[in-house]
Amino acid sequence: MTRREAADRRQGMLLLAPTAVALGALTVYPAAWVLWLSLQHRVPIFGVSRFAGLDNFAFLTIDARFWSAAHTTAVFTVASVALEVVLGVAAALAINAQRRGRAVALSFLLLAWAMPAVVAAKLFEWLYHPVAGLINVALGRHALNWLGDPGIALAAVTLADVWRTMPFVAILCYARLLAIPADLYEAAQVDGAGRLATLTRITLPLLGRILLLAVLFRTLDALRAFDIMFVLTGGGPANTTETLTVYAYRALFQTLQLGFGSALSVVVFVLVMGVAWAYLRILRTGSVAA
């Protein structure tokens, strides 16, 4: 190694030091700590604090509320991501087909995306109002109790989340569409491909990789979803909108079971990391055309 290279290395490490310290202290260290907490019985208000081994995790396997939360998380994730992909691709194709007014059209989408989740929750709480909500009025006053009826509350929460997050999928797809060279479409036209054939043979395959990435990001977000249901329904009615993260949060800060709540957090953590790892494997094997 030359002196120049050694100096560059030293400089690089020096420049990275603040980042490493910050991430170490406020992300890695807490992540290790939460593992340790999850192995304990810790209920500060009763002065309980002792090592419990894997007791918390063993309890989870027979905890009906845990399985209910896992089920809710799965349904919420699959439904919201599927809706986002369908609507997002449709919106991207629509904007891409526009000749004028693209920036205005994009603004409406970005407006929804940029809202804080808490604001989105408040917007939908008002739309779902049993008497004066725009949705019930539009439905001809069927007076559905969207957020209070255990049969439909999860669907209501899912819709609110899709509204705010679909634009993310749409914008990524739209950016990819912009990068498709025009001569590809001209060639297809020359070959006599119709609109449908162009869509299914050229446009959608080219969206493949970016869609997979968008699905990855959206899945990770949906798996750890918290704000929207915490504010809209608080996990109710009858825990039908309680996701794993909401359950973990309530265990940690409402019933103050630091150990058990941490065990739930660890489950979310492992789940999210596992999904991220699996997706990255799929992306790296290159089975999806760029």
Partner 1 sequence: MRPTPRTVADLVIVAALAAYAIPFFWQLLTSFKPEAELLRIPPLLPSHLTLAHYRVVLEQSLMPRALANSLGIATLTTVAALVVGLPGAYAVARRPVPGKRWLLLAIVASTAFPQIATVSPLYLLMRALDLRDTWTGLVLVHASFALPLTVWLLAGFIREIPIEAEEAAAVDGAGLAKTFRWVVVPLLAPGLASTALLTFLFSWNEFLFAYTFTVSEASRTIPVALALFPGVFEVPWGDIAAASMLASLPPVLIVVALQRFLVRGLVAGAVKE
Binders of partner 1 in range 207-246 (CB under 8 A): 210, 213-214, 217, 220, 223-224, 226-227, 230-231, 245
Restricted to residues 102-161, the positions that interact with partner 1 (CB under 8 A) are: 103-112, 114-124, 126-127, 129, 131-132, 134, 137
Nearer to partner 1, 23 or 238 (CB): 23
Among 60, 172, 177, 229, binds partner 1 (CB under 8 A): 172
**3-class secondary structure, 48:** strand
Enumerate residues 6+ apart whose C-beta is below 8 A from 118: 227, 231
Angle at 169 between CA 202 and CA 28, to 5 degrees: 125
Q: Which residues pair with 49 in a beta bridge?
A: 42
Distance, CA of 34 to CA of 265 (rounded, Å): 8
5 binds partner 1 (CB under 8 A): yes
Site for partner 1 in 34-53 (CB under 8 A): 34, 37
Contact call for residue 29 and partner 1 (CB under 8 A): yes
Assess 82 for contact with partner 1 (CB under 8 A).
Answer: no
Q: At its nearest, how many Å lie between partner 1 and the CB of residue 62? A: 22
Nearer to partner 1, 146 or 230 (CB): 230
Please report the DSSP string for 49-87 in residue order: EEE-TTHHHHHHHH-HHHHHHHHHHHHHHHHHHHHHHHH
Footprint (CB under 8 A) of partner 1, residues 180-209: none
**Contact range with partner 1 by CB under 8 A, out of 30-38, 47-55, 75-83, 189-197:** 30-38
φ, ψ of residue 5 in degrees (nearest 5):
-65, -45
For residues 223 and 77, give the distance between their C-alpha atoms in angstroms, rounded to a whole number: 6
